[in-house]
Amino acid sequence: MLKKDKLLERRQNLRNALIAAAAETVASQGLHALRARPLADSVGCAVGMIYKAFADLDELILAVNERTLDALDLVLEKAGRQRDRPAGDAIESLARLALAYLDFAAESGQRWRALFEHRMENERPAPEWYAEKRRRMFRHVEAPLKTLLPELTGARRGQLARTLFSAVHGVVVLGLEEKLGSIPLPLLRQQLKTIVQAAARGLSRER
Amino acid sequence: MLKKDKLLERRQNLRNALIAAAAETVASQGLHALRARPLADSVGCAVGMIYKAFADLDELILAVNERTLDALDLVLEKAGRQRDRPAGDAIESLARLALAYLDFAAESGQRWRALFEHRMENERPAPEWYAEKRRRMFRHVEAPLKTLLPELTGARRGQLARTLFSAVHGVVVLGLEEKLGSIPLPLLRQQLKTIVQAAARGLSRER
């Protein structure tokens, strides 16, 4: 038993070292730069040990992305924290969440991008714990939507939160990348705020 | 001179054959599947001939994407064609454009995705003719915005058109991919319409 505990502890230590090293690579060079051999080299283990610590590279990448999602969750939690009861505040709350998401994306760069670039091998679906962690993110958007549109059912509110998040994500993705000619961050923040406030205002007046 | 014409004609024929073959590969397997050797095999030329017809693989991919952009431009042109003078119609026009974009993306799949996945080698910027063709797309969004918000300067209208397009793009991208659990197309269309109408309504009442 003692020996088994020791082995488990070692495996956990190796996992943590590999996650940290992989996160470092993703942050500095992007997800596509992640390769088993340099990764093993950087923590000083044999390549085969990676597959003793993780079922496959996907499991390692999900562990890296999990940390990014946790960091994002904290940022959104903080941005949404202010309690807003009047509808006007709910609109501000949605704008604040959108700006917090933009700032997180701008700061985290490649680590944030990895959340969207990662494809499971053989097109397997992501494991349920990970999908659930991703979905939980929408609760930050749902809270002000509940204030803004109290008559919506939970299902409709969930859909709307996802759609709003997707719209914000689009503005952030295309704004931060140079493809369409990059936008200075202050202008991008202002544009994002304008569109989110307009959408929230429009939604609240639909009734 | 005659010989030169003949050579130019042959080069053009080879270019067209390569573009068609590359478009086929992108459509069926995605941009990442594009490789010089199988491409040369499929049109029955030597690999080296690709680089006689095109400066590099980027130039070939841009030619494929150009065709996709032209097809999208036609679709948006048609969707935006209805003349709308009253502001209410401008809101409908924006919703129609968004839905036309969603339908185009859903139908074109990998060819549409290639527009956003392609990165120029060595992080060079895309050539000006291509960047211009991409920018021209926004005129379809600018037209109803001009009706809706006649007081905006051209520059502000251009920014807003880009932001609105980015928001729609985000809803389409995250809605069509399975990452967050895929949404049935009719529901996605309805969600997109709701959010675009809300944003347009909110923008028009900001004044």
Mean pLDDT of B113-132: 90
| Helices and strands: H and E segment counts in chain A | 10, 0
pLDDT in tens, A136-172: 999 999 999 999 999 999 999 999 999 999 999 999 9
pLDDT in tens, A24-57: 999 999 999 999 999 999 999 999 999 999 999 9
CA A154 – CA A165 distance, rounded (Å): 16
Cβ atoms of residues B166 and A98 within 8 Å? no
Option in A134, A181, A201 nearest B205 (CB): A201
- Backbone φ and ψ for B24, nearest 5 degrees, come out as -60, -50
Mean pLDDT of A75-97: 82
Predicted model pTM = 0.90
Option in B162, B172, B183 nearest A180 (CB): B162
Q: Which residues of B touch A187 (CB under 8 A)?
A: 159
Option in B168, B180, B191 nearest A170 (CB): B168
**Amino acid identity for residue A173 in this structure:** V
CB contact under 8 A, B166 and A162: no
CA A150 – CA A130 distance, rounded (Å): 29
Specify the length of chain B in residues: 207
pLDDT in tens, B152-174: 999 999 999 999 999 999 999 99
- Angstroms from A1 CA to nearest CA on chain B: 41
CA A71 – CA B169 distance, rounded (Å): 25
pLDDT(A8) > 90: no
Q: What domains are defined for chain A?
A: 1-54 (1.10.10), 65-204 (1.10.357.10)
**A155 or A207, which is more confident?**
A155
CA B183 – CA B51 distance, rounded (Å): 42
Q: What ipTM is given for this predicted complex?
A: 0.88
pLDDT band with cut points at 50, 70 and 90 for residue B72: very high
Containing B1, the helix (H) or strand (E) segment is none
Instruction: Say how many C-beta atoms besides its own lie within 10 A of residue A47's C-beta.
Output: 13
The residue with tokens 């495996």 is: A11
Least confident stretch, A78-92, A114-128, A167-181, B12-26: A78-92
Burial (CB < 10 A; 0-12, 13-18, 19+), residue A94, is: buried
Option in B170, B183, B206 nearest A198 (CB): B206
pLDDT band with cut points at 50, 70 and 90 for residue B178: low
CB contact under 8 A, A179 and B205: no
| Closest alpha carbon to A136 in A69, A58, A46, A62 | A69
Q: Which residues of B touch A168 (CB under 8 A)?
A: 167, 170
CB contact under 8 A, B131 and A181: yes
**Mutation target among B99, B132, B174, B183 for the A interface, most CBs of A within 10 A:** B174
pLDDT band with cut points at 50, 70 and 90 for residue B80: confident
Q: Which residues of A touch B181 (CB under 8 A)?
A: 131, 135
CB contact under 8 A, A198 and B195: no
- Angstroms from A59 CA to nearest CA on chain B: 16
Cβ atoms of residues A95 and A196 within 8 Å? yes
How many Cβ contacts (< 8 angstroms) between chains A and B?
130
pLDDT in tens, B33-53: 999 999 999 999 999 999 999
What was the pLDDT predicted at A95? 96
pLDDT(A109) > 80: yes
Instruction: Say how many C-beta atoms besides its own lie within 10 A of residue A181's C-beta.
Output: 11
What was the pLDDT predicted at A102? 97
Cβ atoms of residues A39 and A22 within 8 Å? yes
CA B6 – CA B8 distance, rounded (Å): 5
CB contact under 8 A, B175 and A195: no
CA A205 – CA B199 distance, rounded (Å): 11
What was the pLDDT predicted at B85? 54
CA B12 – CA B34 distance, rounded (Å): 20
pLDDT(B180) > 80: no
Task: Tell me the C-alpha to C-alpha distance, in Å, between residue B68 and each of A114, B50, B80, B108.
Answer: 27, 21, 18, 9
Find, in chain B, the residue whose alpha carbon is nearest to that of A188. Answer: B163
